[in-house]
Structure 1
Amino acid sequence: MEGVGGEAASMASPVQQQAHEAWRLYQYYLDKTTPYAVYRWIGTLVIAAIYCLRVYYVQGFYIISYALGIYILNLLIGFLSPLVDPELEPSDGPLLPTKGSDDFKPFIRRLPEFKFWYSMTKAFCIAFVMTFFSFFDVPVFWPILLCYWIVLFVLTMRRQITHMIKYKYIPFSLGKQKYGGKKSSGSGRSSGSRAD
């Protein structure tokens, strides 16, 4: 068995081996960024700002920006949606668990945060590269595209928020919930005894 795998690896061309090593190195550094969500998003905002500046100074590529906006809206909907849509699983109200796997499960996104960030960053990078090719610069009246995108965004978000309210889920957690314990009676007396 090991001989078969070794033969396949030795049959790969040097170019394929270099590409595989480059991909492994890329994946290694990508995996190292996973715990640093704030820095990842700051980097994406910098890339988005560079893209916006490029489009502003070139005064073109509005159709690419519109397509990028539609793609990001699609990613956002996946990020805000639950993995299992309650609309597709009809029930007559809350059911009691009948087996161990039926326990309460927290909100799980259809598109995890890391994939959301990664897809958005890739999209901005691809759109930025596309701005260097003039055949992507289709002449279009950009205010109409902007108005259409805003209407699409408002309608889509209204539908998503209605879905959230109807099925009572919140796609965001604002950190670990903190419970306040009893305040010690010593601290209450010491502050009350001072009469300065």
Structure 2
Amino acid sequence: MNVGVGTGGGDVVSSPSSTVSQWFFTVSQRYQHLLDKSTPHVLHRWIFFSVVTLIYTVRVYFVEGFYIITYGLGIYILQLLIAFLSPQVDPEIADGPSLPTRGSDEFRPFVRRLPEFKFWYSLTKAFCIGFVLTFFSAFDVPVFWPILLFYWLVLLISTMKRQIMHMIKYRYVPFTFGKQRYSGKKATVIDEADVSRP
């Protein structure tokens, strides 16, 4: 018998559903805390992703199946990559501020449609889900994998060609390495002789 909040200061026994929801809330809080702590550690996060990808690849290689899951992962990766390389506001349909196209335009930093952390998180989560799915034989659909690979490569080439043409047309580069950085005015050393002159 479940007892609610008593008026006489008796014991409070919570229902099983509230216990489960409390446990779920605690676990999700700790999980979010770990994600928040991992945000500044870019290199470590991508190393972790590489390990997860390697584990998935080894699993698919030794099982020699689940190619349809791998194909689905490939399509999802392509979709995430395009969002990662695209500006948040598309210059073709921009109503608000657009990317600068001339040297005299006001500087506006490149803001991605999909930030780096969300890109990493979505990829890692997708590979973890794909890995779990490889333990269910219902998802091992017999397919001729070279055709899937060929079709995915055609999609990759055509999509990336369109994305690169978009970058060239609107003159933006979605990467920060190799870009010039403003370092501010350099302090000039004033010669004591110049200071003492009248």
| TM-score of the pair, normalised by structure 2 | 0.77
Q: Are the aligned partners of 2:100 and 2:107 in contact in 1 as well (CA < 8 Å)?
A: no
Could you say which residue in structure 1 is the equivalent of 2:167? 164
- Identical amino acids, percent of aligned pairs: 60
1:26 equivalent in alignment to 2:34? no
Tell me the secondary structure at the aligned position of residue 13 of structure 1. helix
Unaligned regions of 5+ residues in structure 2, if any? Answer: 1-13, 190-198
How far did 1:62 drift?
0.2
Number of positions where the alignment pairs a residue of Structure 1 with one of Structure 2: 166
* Aligned partner (choices 146, 166, 173) of residue 143 of structure 1: 146
Amino acid paired to 2:121: Y
How far did 1:20 drift?
0.2
Tell me the secondary structure at the aligned position of residue 23 of structure 2. helix
How far did 1:105 drift?
2.4
* Aligned partner (choices 1, 16, 20) of residue 15 of structure 1: 20
RMSD: 2.6
How far did 1:178 drift?
6.5
How far did 1:177 drift?
2.1
Unaligned regions of 5+ residues in structure 1, if any? Answer: 1-9, 96-102, 185-196
Give the whole-Å Cα distance in 2 for the aligned partners of 1:90 and 1:162: 21
1:152 equivalent in alignment to 2:132? no
Could you say which residue in structure 2 is the equivalent of 1:131? 134
How far did 1:142 drift?
0.1
Could you say which residue in structure 2 is the equivalent of 1:56? 61
Q: Are the aligned partners of 2:38 and 2:45 in contact in 1 as well (CA < 8 Å)?
A: yes
| TM-score of the pair, normalised by structure 1 | 0.78
Q: Are the aligned partners of 2:52 and 2:128 in contact in 1 as well (CA < 8 Å)?
A: yes
**Bigger Cα Rg:** 2
Amino acid paired to 1:177: R
How far did 1:42 drift?
0.5
* Aligned partner (choices 74, 80, 93) of residue 75 of structure 1: 80
Amino acid paired to 2:25: H
**Which structure 1 residue ranges, 4+ long, deviate > 6 Å from structure 2?**
none
Could you say which residue in structure 2 is the equivalent of 1:177? 181
Give the whole-Å Cα distance in 1 for the aligned partners of 2:72 and 2:22: 35
RCO (CA 8 Å, sep 6+): is it higher in 1 or 2?
A: 1
How far did 1:85 drift?
0.2
Could you say which residue in structure 2 is the equivalent of 1:193? none
Amino acid paired to 2:115: P
